[in-house]
Chain A
Amino acid sequence: MGWACLEIDAAMSLLEIRDVSLAFGGVKALTGVSLAVEEGTVTSVIGPNGAGKTSLYNVISGFYRPQSGAVAFAGADITLVKANRRAALGMARTFQNIALFRGLTVLDNIKLGAHHYLKSGVLPAAWYIGSAAREEAQLRGKIERDIVDLLHLADFRDAPVSALSYGLQKRVELARALAMRPKLLMLDEPVAGMNREEKEDMARYILDVREEWGVTVLLIEHDMGMVMDLSDQIHVLNFGQKLSSGTPDQVRADPAVIEAYLGEG
C-alpha cells in the first residue's frame, strides 16, 4: 500500500504528484512524474502536444487512476478518491475544449459550480420552500457579488451559453470553477484560440482571482508569453516524463527544454 505510508512534509505543498505512471494498454502516457504545487502560486505545466499534460490533469481530477504513484492534496492522499468527491476538497478545473452545459444560462452554469456545498433535498426543492428557497436566494446573491462583477458577466447572465462567443464561454467556465470556491484552480489552456485582447483580459482575471481569493492556480498553456509572465513555477513535460522544473528564467535557460521545443540541432 504505497500511498498509505507517504511521508507528508512539514512545509507541505498544496498539491503533490509523486512518481505517477499511467498507461493505456501499451501506450505510456505518464512515466514517473513527480511535481509539487505550492500554495498561493501560479504554477504552469508546459510541454509539446502529446506530452501528457491533460493526462496529468485527468489523474489529478480523478478521471484516470495511475498504475503507480500517488497524488496528495492539502496533506491528504487522494489517489483513490472518486472524481466527484474532489470538488468538496477544494479542487476545480476547466477543460481544454470548453465543457459548459450549453443548454443552460450563464447564471445556471455558474450556480452549478456551487452544487457541492448546497444541501437542499427533493421535497423542499419541489415546493420551493424553506431551506431550498433560502439557499437559492443566498447563492444568487453571492454569485452576483463575488463572481459576476469580478468577471464582468452581468450583461450575459441570462443568455444561454451556446449563444456566447468562444472567449466569453472560456470566461464563464472560469466563473463556474470559481463558484466552487476552490483552493486549487486548474486551468487547461484558458487562452487557446483567443485574440490578443481577450488573452490579456484572461491573464488579468487569473491574477485578480489569485490576489483577491488567494486561490492557487495550476495552468496548462501553450502561449509562452503568458506562461512566462504569470508563473511562479514551471514544470516541463515531454513524452510523459518530467523534463525540467524551475522559475521561468531557469526553465527558459534549460538546454533540455530548448532542445525539446526546437528539436535537435
Chain B
Amino acid sequence: MSFSLDLVGPRAGIAPSNYRATAAWLDSGERRLGLALLLGLLALFPFVAGDYLVYLACVAAMTVVSVIGLNILTGYTGLLSIGHAAFNGIGAYSCAVATVKFGWPFWLAVPFGGLMAAFAGLIVGLPSLRIKGLYLAIATLAAQYLFLFAAQHWESVTGGDRGFQVAPASFFGIRLDSDMRLYWLIMPVTVLMCLAAHNLFRTRIGRSFIAVRERDYSAEVLGIDLLRTKLLAFAIASFYAGIAGALMAYFFKVVNPEQYTFTASIFQLTAIIVGGLGSVLGSILGALFMVAVPEILKAVVSALAGADAVKGAIMLASARELVFGLLIVGFLLFEPFGLAEIVRRARVSLQMWPFKT
C-alpha cells in the first residue's frame, strides 16, 4: 500500500527567480523587449491571419486561461482535479444567465462567471480538510458529474440538454459578434491572466502553494494553514476556469452540458502534462499544443477517409482519443516535465553555444 501522496515530482515549479526577481516584474531589458515583441505580434495577428486562424487563436487563448487555472491547482499545489471542466461550465452558465436573464454587460458578466466558479471551487475544496491524494481526485470527479446532472436537469436555469443561446456582448455600442471582434476581448484577458499567474508565484502565496504540494507537515511548521491554502488554490484555479468558461459562452454563443464533460477535464489534464506541471509557460505551451493536435489530425484523417465525411468524423473521434492517450503516456514516460523542459534545455544550449552542443 504505497501510493505516493505528493503529486508532482521534484523540480517542477522552480520559480524563475534570478537575482533581480525582487524588483518589478518587468525587470530586465531583455524581458521587457520580449514581452513588447509578443504583445505586438498578438496585436498584429488578426490583421494578417485568416478567419480560421483567428478562430483557433481565440480557442487557444481561452484554453490557456483555463489550463493555467488547472496547473495552479494540480501542478503547483499538488491537488489532482479530474473535474476542472465543471468550473468552466459554472463560469459559462453564470455568465450566460447574467447576460441573457439579468441583461448585464459583459464586463460584469465575465467576472461574475469567474467569481461563481471560484465560489463553487471553495465548496469542492472543502473535503480537502480531511482527504487528499486519490480520494480528493475522486471527489472532484464526483463534483464533475454533479455539475453535469444539474446542467441537464435544472432546466429552468440551464435549458437542459439543449442549453441556451447567449446574446453577443457589446462594447460602447459595438457588438462583439464575430471572432475577429471577440479576439480583442479574449486576448487581452488572456495576457493579463498569464501575467497574474506568473506574478503570483513570485510572492508568498505562490510559494505557499508549492510548499503544500511538496511537504505539507513542513509547511505547517512554517505557519502555513493547510486548509486555507488549499481552499485558496481551489478558488483561484476555479476563478481561472470560470473566466475561461464565461469567455467561451460569448465565443460559442451557446451554453450546453456537452461542452463541459469529463472528457473536457481530461483534455485539460493532458495539456498540463504535455506542457509541464507547475509551470505557467508549460500551461501556455500545453494548451497551444492541445489545440493544434486535433487540427493536424483532422487533416490526416480527412486525407485517409477520403470523401466520406461521416466516416471521417467517426474516425476522427477515435483517432483523437488514441493520440491524446499516447501523448499522455508518452510524455509521462519520456519527458515528465513537458514541453516547458524541452524549451528550457533548448534555451540553455543556445546560451552555451558554441562552447557546447
Q: Which residues of A contact B (CB under 8 A)?
A: 61, 63, 83-88, 92-93, 95, 99-105, 107-108, 111-116, 118, 120, 122, 125-128, 132-133, 135-137, 139-141, 158, 160, 162, 176, 180
Contacts and interface: CB of A to CB of B under 8 A. Distances in A.
Residue from A83, A95, A128 with most neighbouring chain B CB atoms (10 Å): A128
A128 B22 contact: no
A99 B217 contact: yes
Contact of A105 (B9, B17, B206, B218): B17
B215 A108 contact: no
Interface in B1-37: 8-15, 17-19, 22-25
Contacts of A93: 221
A115 B224 contact: yes
Please provide the 9 A-B residue pairs with the shortest distance between their CB atoms, ordered closest to farther: A87-B223, A116-B223, A99-B218, A126-B196, A128-B199, A125-B203, A101-B214, A140-B22, A102-B10
A103 B211 CA distance: 9
Nearest to B197: A126
B223 A63 contact: no
23 contacts: A84-B226, A87-B222, A87-B223, A99-B218, A99-B221, A100-B218, A101-B211, A103-B9, A103-B210, A108-B207, A111-B204, A114-B204, A116-B222, A116-B224, A126-B196, A133-B23, A135-B203, A136-B22, A137-B22, A140-B22, A141-B22, A158-B19, A180-B223
Contacts of A63: 217, 220
A69 B285 CA distance: 56
B236 interface: yes
Given A101-B211, A132-B203, A61 B24 contact: no
B11 A128 contact: no
A137 B19 CA distance: 11
Given A103-B278, A104-B15, A125-B200, A115 B208 contact: yes
Contacts, number: 134
Interface of B: 8-15, 17-19, 22-25, 196-197, 199-200, 202-208, 210-211, 214-215, 217-226, 232, 236, 278
Contacts of A108: 15, 17, 207, 210
A104 B214 contact: yes
Main DSSP-derived SS at the A contact region: helix
Contacts of A99: 215, 217-218, 221
Given A103-B214, A162-B11, A125 B22 contact: no
Contacts of A111: 204, 207
A87 B204 CA distance: 15
A128 B202 contact: yes
Given A95-B218, A115-B224, A128-B25, A158 B200 contact: no
Given A84-B225, A126-B196, A103 B13 contact: yes
A236 to B, nearest CB: 25
B24 A133 contact: yes
A85 B206 contact: no
Contacts of A61: 221
A128 B203 contact: yes
Given A112-B208, A115-B224, A133-B24, A102 B214 contact: yes
Contacts of B225: 84
Contacts of A125: 199-200, 203-206
